Amino acid sequence: METESNFLNIKDVSTAFKIDGQFYDAISHINLQVQHDEILAIVGESGCGKSTLATTIMGLHDPAETKISGEIDFEGTDLLKLDDDGYNEFRGAKIGMIFQDPLSALNPLKRIEDQISEVMDYHTQMTKAEKHKRTLELLDEVGIVNPQRTAHQFPHELSGGMRQRVVIAIAIACKPDLIIADEPTTALDVTIQAQILDVLRAIQKENHAGIILITHDLGVVAETADRVAVMYAGQIVEQGTAEQVFNSPEHPYTRSLLRSMPQRDNEGDDLYVIKGNVPSLQKMPSTGDRFAPRIPWVPESAHEADPVMHEIAPGHEVRCTCYKTFQFPDEQKGSVTV
Amino acid sequence: MWKTILRRLLIMIPEVILLSVLVFLLAKAMPGDPFTGSINPKADPAQIKHLMEINGLNDPWYQQYWNWVVHLFHGNLGNSYQYQEPVTRLIEGRAGNTLWLAFFTMILTYAFALPLGVYAGRHEGKLPDTIIRFYTYVTFCIPVFVILVLGIWIFGYVLGWFPTTGSVSSDAQTWAQTVGSRFYHILLPSLLGALFGTVNIVQYLRSEVIDAKHSDYVRTARSKGVPSKDIYRHHIFRNSLLPIAAFAGYSITGLLNGSIFTETVFSYPGMGLLFVNSISYRDYTVITALVLIYGILNLVGTLLSDIILSIVDPRVRIE
């Protein structure tokens, strides 16, 4: 995947949080690439480190409470080597971020227009009139029906969907090359979700941006993503194109996730439930397959001692060798009776 | 915004009526009658009964209340038993002193509290924050009159920096001297009052700043590339000052109530001292009038709070 068009190259990035004086990895040794014009989806259940990855790229962690190692190469600059002022040159200008909860992501005391034009204050030389014009354009672009009116409103006067559109408008105001969308549709109802995703796609087409879409909603991924990275317990366990991951999932965790999703062909059956929970940061095993405790029927020998990514098809990588023999318990039963 | 204020003013009307009824009934429930002490104790009970009759004191309470309200609107609050002069004149001479003191205390309170609270919140957990918090806890634990008495003893008696009683020196001749002397007398009580008043605001403001610091909208601002100092200026300060601003109106009422302590300890001739004296002399007309005034000032304080809030917080405006 090391091609010229990768403008974002995340190499071996780990982020550790300080808990009771000790550092624990929330994400460990992440390798990812993003190209222009592509949507990379990062999926995984709550607590797997998706959002930590996003805030690490954005440099939003308090350096006193976190330890970050590795390299984030963004168009030739290693973001992790920048100080706060240096980072501010990128935040908002070249990297835009869309947050999960639109209800709290906007300052309740500022008019929408001020919140949008604030980005331009720091990254452009535009005059007041130009900024006003651009704000209205942006609001129109994200599908707000009456930009003039909305620009003068306060966040509490807008619905959740409209606020998320405003948050998107802020993120794209300076035409960033990278947009990080951290569960942009989680707080919204289904009809609005689809509209928001359409807006994201339209923006991407126009700006040729790369989008990192973080979600736990596999439906959203199937609909929008070009490539998918599946995360479990702070690691990427499988990545590939959307077709590869959805049509021929290999890692037990990916397969479990897809199996636990309601689908037309398993109508009437009980949904599959992955037993157990993601281990907490303090209890994260340092070696071995982190998903092993949740598939206890798989013999120890099937796992690698220190699982690494294996490329099984061009662009399709899977962690650990256990995928080769992995079967669900009912499949095993089936194979015995046949 | 005008709609909000108008609505809020209209709500005050029933509040004031209810307050006045309560005050009136309380006054009625107090022991004694209006003639005690003002006529010959050997007077014929039948004559007293006659006097009660012609003064309308045997009328049903609502009629008496109505008469009282009519008098009230004519600025007639009755005569003080203790001073034998109209209550209105008595209060007139003291209200200014109390309002001056309250006003000054408030200015000093905010002058101390705002920087301390913001600083403590911004540098949460560091040494200055610990010192500020220590100060607030200690002050919070000491009763206000202990602080006042200690303050008088140290600054008035031991160091002799400030006068310890009165509101103006009798030597003051010219206008400028009078103003200077008043200011000099007011300084120590308002400083001590402010020392006490800052505690709540500092604690409140500190936790507001800390909350705002970790809020989602501040994270959004950081992701816009806004430098840290501008985030404080444009996002954190204003948002965390909001509840403090709203609290300001209400704190006026707290100051007026606090003036009862301050004025007593400093023998400062204001409404608070008058109130305490009237209670010890059972000067009912004065007490009634002062309770009514304090009650109305409290209502005005909350009214101010609501108006301030409707100005600074777009969310509570009625469009």
Q: Do A89 and B225 touch (CB under 8 A)?
A: yes
Contact between A122 and A88 under an 8 Å Cβ cutoff? The reply is yes
Give mean pLDDT, residues B221-249: 89
Give mean pLDDT, residues A27-38: 91
Q: Do B217 and A92 touch (CB under 8 A)?
A: no
Give mean pLDDT, residues B78-100: 81
ipTM: 0.86
Give mean pLDDT, residues B267-294: 83
Give mean pLDDT, residues A202-222: 87
Q: Do B217 and A101 touch (CB under 8 A)?
A: no
Q: Do B221 and A118 touch (CB under 8 A)?
A: yes
Residue A189 at interface with chain B, using a CB cutoff of 8 Å: no
CA quadruple B221, B222, B224, B227: dihedral positive or negative? Answer: positive
Q: How many Å is the Cα radius of gyration of chain A?
A: 21
Give mean pLDDT, residues A208-233: 89
Q: What was the pLDDT predicted at A1? A: 47
- A153 found inside a domain: no
Topology given in CATH for the domain delimited by B91-316: MetI-like fold (1.10.3720)
Q: What was the pLDDT predicted at B36? A: 61
Which chain B residues are closer than 8 Å to A171 by Cβ? 223
Burial of A151 (0-12, 13-18, 19+ CB in 10 A): buried
Q: How many Å lie between the alpha carbon of B114 and the closest alpha carbon of chain A? A: 20
Q: How confident is the model at residue A335 (pLDDT cuts 50, 70, 90)?
A: very low
* Chain A residue whose CA is closest to B313: A109
Kindly report the average pLDDT of chain A as a whole number.
Answer: 87
Integer CA distances (angstroms), B181 to A299, B174, B262, in order = 92, 10, 18
Which chain B residues are closer than 8 Å to A90 by Cβ? 225
Percent of the residues in chain B that have a pLDDT greater than 70, as a whole number: 94
- A108 found inside a domain: no
* Structural domain boundaries enclosing A228: 6-94+174-264+273-337
- A131 found inside a domain: no
- E strands along chain A, which residues? 6-19, 22-35, 39-43, 66-74, 77-78, 95-98, 178-182, 210-215, 227-232, 235-241, 309-313, 316-319
Contact between A141 and A133 under an 8 Å Cβ cutoff? The reply is no
Distance, in Å, from the CA atom of B287 to the CA atom of B297, rounded to the nearest integer, reads 15
* DSSP H helices in chain B: 2-29, 45-54, 61-73, 87-122, 127-141, 144-151, 175-213, 216-223, 228-231, 237-266, 271-280, 284-312
A338 pLDDT more than 50: no
Which two three-digit tokens encode residue B185?
């007398």
- A165 found inside a domain: no
Percent of the residues in chain A that have a pLDDT greater than 70, as a whole number: 95
- A277 found inside a domain: yes
* Chain B residue whose CA is closest to A176: B224
DSSP state of A126: -
Q: What was the pLDDT predicted at A336? A: 44
Distance, in Å, from the CA atom of A238 to the CA atom of A316, rounded to the nearest integer, reads 7
Integer CA distances (angstroms), A194 to A100, A200, A201, A219, B53, in order = 15, 10, 11, 11, 82
Percent of the residues in chain A that have a pLDDT greater than 90, as a whole number: 42
Residue A99 at interface with chain B, using a CB cutoff of 8 Å: yes
Which two three-digit tokens encode residue A217?
């909603």
Residue A170 at interface with chain B, using a CB cutoff of 8 Å: yes
Strand partners, A238: A230, A318
Q: Report helix angle A128-141 to A112-123, nearest 10.
A: 120
Give mean pLDDT, residues B69-92: 80
CATH code for position A289: 3.40.50.300
Cα of first residue to Cα of last residue in chain B, in angstroms, is 7
Q: Which residues contact B278 (CB under 8 A, 6 or more apart)?
A: B80, B82, B286, B287, B290
Q: Do B224 and A91 touch (CB under 8 A)?
A: yes
Specify the range with the lowest mean pLDDT, choosing from A165-169, A251-255, A290-294, B207-211: A290-294
Nearest to A156 among B227, B239, B315 (CB): B315
Strand partners, A303: none
Residue ranges covered by each domain of chain B = 2-73, 91-316
Kindly report the average pLDDT of chain B as a whole number.
Answer: 83
B281 pLDDT more than 80: no
Q: What was the pLDDT predicted at B27? A: 77
Distance, in Å, from the CA atom of A143 to the CA atom of A6, rounded to the nearest integer, reads 30
Give mean pLDDT, residues B5-22: 88
| Number of residues assigned to chain A | 338
**In 3-state terms, what secondary structure has residue A91?**
strand
Q: Do B221 and A58 touch (CB under 8 A)?
A: no
Residues of B with CB under 8 A from a CB of A: 215-217, 219-228, 234-235, 238-239, 242, 312-315
Q: Do B220 and A106 touch (CB under 8 A)?
A: yes
Which chain A residues are closer than 8 Å to B312 by Cβ? 109
Instruction: Give the torsion through C-alpha atoms of B269, B275, B279, B280, to 10 deg.
Output: -10
Distance, in Å, from the CA atom of B245 to the CA atom of B257, rounded to the nearest integer, reads 20
> Using one digit for the tens of pLDDT, what is the confidence trace for A91-138?
999 999 998 888 899 999 999 999 999 999 999 999 999 999 999 999
> Using one digit for the tens of pLDDT, what is the confidence trace for B173-196?
777 777 778 888 888 888 888 888
Q: Do A105 and B238 touch (CB under 8 A)?
A: no
Give mean pLDDT, residues B99-121: 90
Contact between A134 and A173 under an 8 Å Cβ cutoff? The reply is yes
Distance, in Å, from the CA atom of B17 to the CA atom of B69, rounded to the nearest integer, reads 10
Distance, in Å, from the CA atom of A114 to the CA atom of A132, rounded to the nearest integer, reads 9
A2 pLDDT more than 60: no
Q: Do A91 and B221 touch (CB under 8 A)?
A: no
Q: Do A105 and B220 touch (CB under 8 A)?
A: yes
A229 pLDDT more than 70: yes
* Chain A residue whose CA is closest to B315: A156
Nearest to B225 among A93, A101, A167 (CB): A93
Distance, in Å, from the CA atom of A8 to the CA atom of A211, rounded to the nearest integer, reads 11
Distance, in Å, from the CA atom of A86 to the CA atom of A215, rounded to the nearest integer, reads 29
Which chain B residues are closer than 8 Å to A104 by Cβ? 215-217
* Chain B residue whose CA is closest to A121: B226
Task: Report residue A209: phi and psi, to 5°.
Answer: -80, 160
Give the largest Cα separation in chain B, rounded. 89
Model confidence, pTM: 0.80
Which chain B residues are closer than 8 Å to A119 by Cβ? 224-225
Number of domains in chain A: 1
Which two three-digit tokens encode residue A236?
């990427």
Starting at the edge strand found earlier in the chain, the sheet holding A39-43 runs A95-98, A178-182, A210-215, A39-43, A227-232, A235-241, A316-319, A309-313
CA angle centred on A145, ends A142 and A147, rounded to 5°: 75
Q: Do B216 and A85 touch (CB under 8 A)?
A: no
Give mean pLDDT, residues B272-291: 82
B29 pLDDT more than 70: yes
Q: What was the pLDDT predicted at B91? A: 84
Tell which wins on pLDDT, A139 or B145.
Answer: A139
Q: What was the pLDDT predicted at B318? A: 61
Most confident of A35-44, A313-322, B20-29: A35-44
Nearest to B219 among A60, A109, A171 (CB): A60
Strand partners, A23: A18
> Using one digit for the tens of pLDDT, what is the confidence trace for A234-258?
899 999 999 999 999 989 899 888 8
CA quadruple B299, B305, B309, B312: dihedral positive or negative? Answer: positive
